[in-house]
Each structure stands twice: as structure tokens, then as C-alpha cells.
Amino acid sequence: MHDPAVVRAEYADETRLAARKAAHTGAEGPDAREVLFEAVVERGPARILEVGCGEGELAERLGRETSAEVVAIDQSPRMVELARARGIDARVGRAEELEFDDASFDCMVAAWMLYHVEELDQALGELARVLAPRGRLVAVTNGQDHLKELYELIGCDRVENQFTAEVADEALPRRFPRVERRDAHGWIVFPDSDAAQTYVSSLVALEGARVPPRDGEIRARRLPSIFVAEKA
Ligand SMILES: C[S@@+](CC[C@H](N)C(=O)[O-])C[C@H]1O[C@@H](n2cnc3c(N)ncnc32)[C@H](O)[C@@H]1O
């Protein structure tokens, strides 16, 4: 998941990401994106940096519903183009080399993206550097058994993930003195095997994997966790 060539191919355009997001619409259980939004806004931040903003929905909502100044970056020029089209101050950039001053944002967001960075420890260091004292990083990732039932169906022992929720439990406290984990676990329900196949086909790392045709819906656990990490 953090091979730079695979990450570039995965997000060269929005098609694959949009297919996966659509599959999560209407999933059972708490809405992880709402839990994320609340974690970002609850302290009334003044300057927010979203790293790995994708298509920019969250940054756009933060700009619309809060008075914060919002900046977003992504390694994908196409994602930045889409985010800019929403009126966001979006820039091409990498989490490992943030082109911002020390302590320049009081809130930072890294949602479903730290498992993709080439140098995880360097990226965590950059997030801590750019965050202001007593500022908050909101990081989202999935547990190691995320979509376990789907992976079992395709006979794959899951995609290697360097930043599962279990890893975050260990890694974030090494950089941030206060870390709180808010789980938003539930179930994703694919109406049929074709829908599950569309999801699987959206992942470059699962190229060629086949969901065996079968009757009825396919249920797979979804294990997003929202981490609220605060700086001293
Ligand atoms: C799974 S998408 C998540 C997008 C968005 N945060 C969301 O929640 O919908 C991951 C995003 O992180 C970006 N990304 C991957 N590695 C990155 C890096 N090292 N620095 C900045 N962005 C990165 C990808 O281009 C992609 O847009």
C-alpha cells in the first residue's frame, strides 16, 4: 500500500477512490466521516491543514461550516485539481516534506492516507513539526481485520498495511503525549458479488483478484478508527 508507483497509479485520477467511497455509502454502523468532522471542529481550530485531501470533500465542508482557514495538500495533481475546483487552497505536496513553517497550524488532518506514505516515520515527524503547541492531529485509518470477509472470499491474506489502527496505537503516542482513539466500526454490505468485484477491482494492489459469483449480499466488517492526537 505504500509503494510509490502503486500509490501514484491508484490516485492518478478519482475513479478508483470514488468507487470505494460509493461502496461505503449506506454502510451499517457509525459514519466515520462524521466522527472525523466532529473531532476536527470540536476545539474551534483557526488554521487547518489537511494532508492527503483526495477529492477535497472534507476540506470544502470545513471551509463552508467553520470560520477556519483551510489548506489542503495531496501528492496527486489530479486530486489537487479537483479540490481546487471546490474553491479550496489546495497544493501538490507530500506528507514526508511539508512545505510549511513549524507550528503553523492548530489542527491537522491525515484521513486514510498514512498507510500510503513512503516514509511513515518522516511523515509523522513532519505532522508533529507543523502542528502548533496544544494543537490537534486527527488521523484516520482502518484496523488490520478491515474487510476480512471480502479478502477471504478472494483468497487473499489482506493487503500489507504499514499504518493499521493497531500500529497507530503504538506509533502516535511516541510523537504525541495525548492520544484518544474513537472507533467507528460497522459493516459494509455489497448488494451482490458484482458490487464486491467493483470494489476489489478499484484497488491496484488486488489487480486480477476475482470475487466468486454467488447469490445474495456480501457483508464485510469495516473497522475505521479516528485518532485524536494532541501536542504538548
Ligand atoms: C484513500 S485516499 C483518502 C483521501 C481523503 N483523505 C479521504 O478521506 O477521502 C488517500 C489520498 O492520500 C494521497 N496521498 C498518498 N500518499 C501521499 C503522500 N505521501 N503525501 C500526500 N498525499 C498522499 C493520495 O493521493 C490520495 O488522494
Domain boundaries of the chain, sorted by first residue = 4-144+158-186+222-230
Q: Is the pLDDT of residue 158 over 90?
A: no
User: 9 CB less than 6 Å from ligand 1?
Assistant: no
User: 163 CB less than 6 Å from ligand 1?
Assistant: no
Query: Superfamily for 4-144+158-186+222-230?
Result: Vaccinia Virus protein VP39 (3.40.50.150)
User: 111 CB less than 6 Å from ligand 1?
Assistant: yes
pLDDT for the residue numbered 159: 77
33-68 residues labelled b (16+ CB within 10 A) or e (exposed): bebbbebbbeeebebbbbbbbbbbebbbbbbeebeb
Nearest to 210 by CA among 155, 160, 158, 159: 155
Which residue from 31, 55, 74 has its CB within 8 A of the most atoms of ligand 1, so it is best to mutate? 74
Q: Is the pLDDT of residue 49 over 80?
A: yes
Q: Is the pLDDT of residue 160 over 90?
A: no
pLDDT for the residue numbered 112: 98
The atom number, within ligand 1, closest to the CA of 36 reads 8
**CA of 97 relative to ligand 1 center, distance in Å:** 14
**CA of 176 relative to ligand 1 center, distance in Å:** 22
The atom number, within ligand 1, closest to the CA of 8 reads 25
Q: How confident is the model at residue 157 (pLDDT cuts 50, 70, 90)?
A: confident
User: 95 CB less than 6 Å from ligand 1?
Assistant: yes
What's the whole-number average pLDDT of the chain? Answer: 96
